[in-house]
Structure formats: structure tokens, C-alpha cells
Amino acid sequence: MLHPISVLLSLLLLGGSPADEDPTSVPVANTGTENAQEYTIAFWNLENLFDYEDDPDNPGDDEYLPEKEWDQARYERKLDHLARAIVSMDADLLAVCEVENRRVLEDLTRHPDLVEEQWAIVHQDSPDHRGIDLALLYRKPFAEDGPSTLHKIDIGEGNTATRGVLEVPMTLSGTKVTFLVNHWPSRWGGAEKSAPKRKAAAQVARGIIDGHLSNDPAAEIILLGDLNDDPWDPSVREVLKAVRELRAVTHPSNTAPRKEGRTDYSPRLWNPSWGFANSTDNGTYYYWNGWCWNCFDQIIVSSGLLDDRGLQIRKDSVAVHAPDFMKDTERNAFRPARFRKFRGRWEEGYSDHFAVKCRVTLLTPNKEEPASE
């Protein structure tokens, strides 16, 4: 008579199992995405990318002129550093802020480290009092799907002297996606006192999003930018309705089309930036006076990026892009290595913000197998 242990060992060696099936196993569904392709999307505040020539119509550039030690050589070093960082991101689309004009973007994309990547530029002049603008850089297969729009923000008593929200309709291999590039008003004068200005910016962005979702509840929208607020601040969590909880966004009660006669359809958005905001000693901007990290730079998506059609965000991919060469010293909390003059000395780093990035997947259905004759 064979010993039971001998029978078990024989089955294992033959690749069998004492049971025909593992009752805990889950079959892998064929989602039709074996041919899916991934792309990297990023945002970066370039910290005062001004050229070195005076623009008489822009008093905001007066601190960035040769007489202020912002000459051609220093400007070109700034471009060298930005180009190195952009190469390290390996991005297919990069939204940016704090750029003076289109010229600086052309100089940047023509840099020897970037020119072969053939970046295209979307840019509009903003009414900002410092003369800094929003822009979007992209490479194929991304393509523009119509003209961009700069939506002005009223920050009080008819004052629109801030950056606005740049809306850019795009396609990726035929799939439509709308990008909203943001740089909300700063915390100058105090976070609480300046909060209404950022709430005003959030209202403008929310209005653009609701317009798209009213026409198509599954519209794919990606909002990204320097919001000058953290994910838990009211401008982001309450006004923009960008939340941490994934289920609150994907649940049918949030994604259902607007019912007839209802005019308040304004579904929640998902803010995956909580993923890095939760961790200690991490963020995109370091506030030295408060000894604290902020997560001002964020990527936020509509529920259309969470379904199984078109574009899909990789939920675990949203991260701060902070390679060691972009960091300051340990003494300075490994904050972003800035490019500015501070206390009479030039710090020639990269930017006072780290970038944020994520991966999106273009879901491509499998080709149907030809019918057998």
C-alpha cells in the first residue's frame, strides 16, 4: 500500500494537485487591453523663467535683466538645468507655469538636450501682474484638438490680474482628453486672508469641468497645476470637489448622467495626490518659515480616467518627481534646489518646486480574430 505522503509528492512532481482546482483562484478577465500603451504626464512650476531682455509692457520682468545680474549666461544656465530635469521626467506631455512668454518656451524646447524630442507648445499670455503665464508642452502621439482657451479669474472687485485657467483640448491616438493647466493665486499676505482668491480660481476650474461633464459624464479631464493649496484645503476639497476616496468618485451615484430637469450635476473628482501628501517629509514645495512640506502641485482627474474605456490613469503612478540632483542639501531639508538670488548670493539649482507626474494607459481593444471558415 502506498503511503499518502508518497502519493502527494508524486502529484507535486508531476505538476498536479490533490484537488482539480484551487477554489481561491480568480480567473483573469480578458479586458481587451493587452495592446494598451502607457504615457507619462507631468506638471512643473519652472520658477520665474524670464528671458534677459526688457519688455516695456511687462514691469514684472524688471528683476530679470542684466543690471540685476540676470544676463544671457545665467539665463542659459537656467535653461541647461531645466532641460536636464525634463529629460529625467521622460514625459510625453508637460504642463508648466511661471514662464514669461512664448520665447522662453521656444528657447527651452530648442535646447540641445530636448530638440530631438520635438516638443510642441501651447501658450497664451495671461493678465498676471508679474507677467507669468501657463503653458503646455507635448509630443506625438498627443495632438491639439482645437484652440486653447484662457479662462480669466475674478479675484475680487473685478480684478483679473492673475494667471487664469488654461484649457487645452487634446487627442491621444484619437481619444479625446481635456487638460486644465492651473497656477492659483499665492498665499501672499497669509493663507487664510488669501484663501478667497484660490476659491475663486477653483470655481472657474469647476465651471469648466461641469460644462464638459454635462455634455458627457464620461469625459476625460485632467486638471494639473500649482494650486497653492494642499489637497485637504477647502478650495480643492470643497469647491473643486476633488476628493481622496476613490469609491466616492467611481460609485454610480457620482457618475450617473444628469437627470432630466436637474441642473446641479457636479460630480466629484479624484485627487490621487493624497498618495504622496500622506507621507512624512515629502511634498512639492518646502515652506522654510513653517518647517513644513506642502503638496501644492497636484494632478486631479475626472471619473472618465477611472473606467475601462479610452484613457485610464494608473492609480499607483502619481508621484513627486524629485531625483537627488534636484534636491538641496540635508541641512536645507532636501527641499527643491532653487534658482534665485537669496541674501546676496545666487543659488543656481532648478526650481523651488518639484514636479509631479503620473502614467496613463490608452486602452486599445484587441483586434477580433477572423472567423473560421
CATH of the domain at 52: 3.60.10.10
pLDDT digits 0-9 by tens, 174-187: 999 999 999 999 99
Burial 169-182 (b: 16+ CB within 10 A, else e): bbebeebbbbbbbb
Q: Is residue 10 part of a domain?
A: no
Task: Out of 23-32, 225-234, 278-287, pick the least confident.
Answer: 23-32
Q: What angle do CA 268, 199, 125 make, to 5 degrees?
A: 105
Task: Out of 33-42, 45-54, 296-305, pick the least confident.
Answer: 33-42
Q: Is residue 368 part of a domain?
A: no
And the C-alpha cell for 348? 543656481
Residue 300 belongs to domain spanning: 31-259+273-362
Quote the CA–CA distance of 205 and 147 in Å, as a whole number: 17
Q: Is residue 25 part of a domain?
A: no
Q: Is residue 324 part of a domain?
A: yes
pLDDT given for residue 35 in this prediction: 64
pLDDT band at residue 364 under the 50/70/90 scheme: low
Q: Is residue 195 part of a domain?
A: yes
pLDDT above 90 for 42: yes
Q: Which candidate, 232, 233, 223, places its Cα nearest to that of 198? A: 233
Looking up cell 495626490 gives 273
pLDDT given for residue 289 in this prediction: 77
Q: Is residue 264 part of a domain?
A: no
Q: Is residue 36 part of a domain?
A: yes
Looking up cell 476639497 gives 237
In this structure, what DSSP letter does residue 28 have?
P
Looking up cell 469647476 gives 206
Quote the CA–CA distance of 187 and 189 in Å, as a whole number: 6
In the chain, how many domains are there? Answer: 1
Predicted TM-score (pTM) of the model is 0.88
Are the beta carbons of 354 and 281 closer than 8 angstroms?
no
Average pLDDT over residues 345-372: 79
Q: What share of the chain is helix, strand, coil (3-state, %, to 5)?
A: 25, 25, 45
Q: Is residue 216 part of a domain?
A: yes
Task: Out of 8-22, 237-251, 327-341, pick the least confident.
Answer: 8-22
